[in-house]
Amino acid sequence: MRYDLNLLPVFLALMEERSVTRAAERLGITQPALSNALTRLRTMLQDPLFVRERYGMQPTAKAQELAPAIAAALASLDELVLGQQAFDPAKAHQQITIAPNSYAEYALVPAIVARLREQAPGIALRLTPYGTDLAETGVMSGTTALALGRFIDPPENLVVQHLGDDGLACMVRADHPTVTGKRITKKQFEQLKHVNMLPPGRLRAGLFQVLQREGLKREVAVSVTHFLAMPEMVAVTDYCATLPKLICRQLAGDPRLKILPTPVDLGTFPIEMGWHARYRNDPAHRWLRGLIAEVVGEISSQSRV
């Protein structure tokens, strides 16, 4: 029997998106074209594969059984074909999508963009949000090249590379009435009210757990969802914020703010990069990973000084 391999990416897109509209957008085709491909898929595999329900297209038992094998087959084919291709960054013209978390977007991506401009001016970078679900970023399907942040219990087909480490520092307004020295004491830290950053998902308890481990109390007055909001909150209040050192380094030039060491050592956290295993031997992807690792390694080493 002859199989149309062009239909297999359609199958995977529907498995992950559970929507004809979203799958068509992801593949860059029209909805009628995707519906036509689904009809041919059903004929080829002799199964309905996806059943329309109230909350989207739900895969049948056979579709769920086939999905791992089809994903593995496409990944092997990608490695075989792409691994033979040469890549010249200076001549490349393409758009690459990455998913940085808010920390990486603020502290790391500008330097990555600057290095890309020097070495591969024809590459355009597109950012997509890194939220609570890696599947939503496109990293698990391979439509997004890679994610930057921190990964808790990553799935088996996600390759995770450690890029560096960062620590934490405190930030208060420059003319703070009680924090007047070059350090903030444990007593001052516990007496102040704090601005807290709420990262997504299971990372949310991270700083709370570290503070509890070190016996450091903190009264949170306001919680925000992006690092950019924190300096503005601190600049107009007597609040304190505990932030990654790399972000504090970028804010150190703001005359409204004062950056201080934490009252106790709060340790470090990893900076990681994750990508789908199918890109392991892709020359362009391998080059991009090397560039990002080099840039982040240079930047993260600054947080230790």
- Token pair for 162: 């450690």
Helix, strand, coil: what percent of the chain each, to 5? 45, 20, 35
Would you say the CATH fold of 168-267 matches that of 5-82? no
Distance CA(206)–CA(263), nearest Å, equals 18
Q: What is the DSSP string of 151-216?
A: -SS--TTEEEEEEEEE-EEEEEETT-SS--SSS--HHHHHHSEEEEE--SGGGGGHHHHHHHHTT-
pLDDT in tens, 178-228: 999 899 999 999 999 999 988 654 444 567 788 888 888 999 999 998 888
For 88-111, the pLDDT digits (tens) are 899 988 889 999 998 999 999 999
CB-based contacts of 240: which residues, under 8 Å, 6+ apart?
Answer: 170, 171, 172, 179, 184, 189, 192, 193, 194, 195, 234
Mean pLDDT for 232-260 is: 94
pTM recorded for the entire structure = 0.72
pLDDT of residue 236: 96
Considering the domain 5-82, what is its CATH architecture?
Orthogonal Bundle (1.10)
Six-digit token pair at 263? 């009252």
168-267 has which CATH code?
3.40.190.10
CA angle at residue 72 from 68 to 76, to 5 degrees? 175
pLDDT band at 1 (very low <50, low <70, confident <90, very high): low
pLDDT bin (cut points 50, 70, 90) of residue 305 is very low
The CATH homologous superfamily of the domain defined by 94-165+271-302: Periplasmic binding protein-like II (3.40.190.10)
Task: Name the average pLDDT for the chain.
Answer: 86
Measured distance CA(96)–CA(124) in Å, rounded: 6
Any idea where the domains of the chain sit in the sequence? 5-82, 94-165+271-302, 168-267
Give, to the nearest 10 degrees, the angle between helix 31-45 and helix 20-27: 100
What's the distance, Cα to Cα, between the start and end of the chain in Å?
Answer: 63
